[in-house]
Amino acid sequence: MIQPKKIPSMKGPSKALKKERSFDLLLPALVSGCDARGDSFKEKTKLSKISSQEAVIRIKNKVLLGTKLDLSLNIPQTLILENNLNLTISGKVSSASMDSIKKEQQLISLQLDKIFKIYPISKSE
């Protein structure tokens, strides 16, 4: 009787390769959208973490999963950047939980849209 050979399976890239690089940044951000009651809001906060697909923020306004939020981030001038920049990006709430550190806030993960706007901030602003 012929024994079948074991063929190694192709599982694709490992989790280590799939994992996207994210950055822990505390940049000032303005978040706008609609809260859980359907009322529009604007709230100043700080960005906690960002990657090309996800952003994490803390906000006081309660929002529902799937809610579209807009983020406006001020990126400071550096040795490489000649001007301060403003990055405007949108995304849908993919997770929302009560923040264990700041009890009155929600920890929000946004699944970011692929379209964004970035422009210099004039020094007079």
Please name each of the domains of the chain with its CATH number.
Answer: 22-120 (2.40.10.220)
Radius of gyration of the chain (CA): 20
pLDDT of residue 119: 86
DSSP assignment letter at 80? S
pLDDT in tens, 33-64: 999 999 999 999 999 888 889 999 999 999 99
pLDDT in tens, 74-112: 888 888 878 888 889 999 999 988 866 667 888 999 999
C-alpha–C-alpha distance, residues 83 and 80, integer Å: 9
**Is the sign of the CA dihedral 33, 37, 39, 44 positive or negative?**
negative
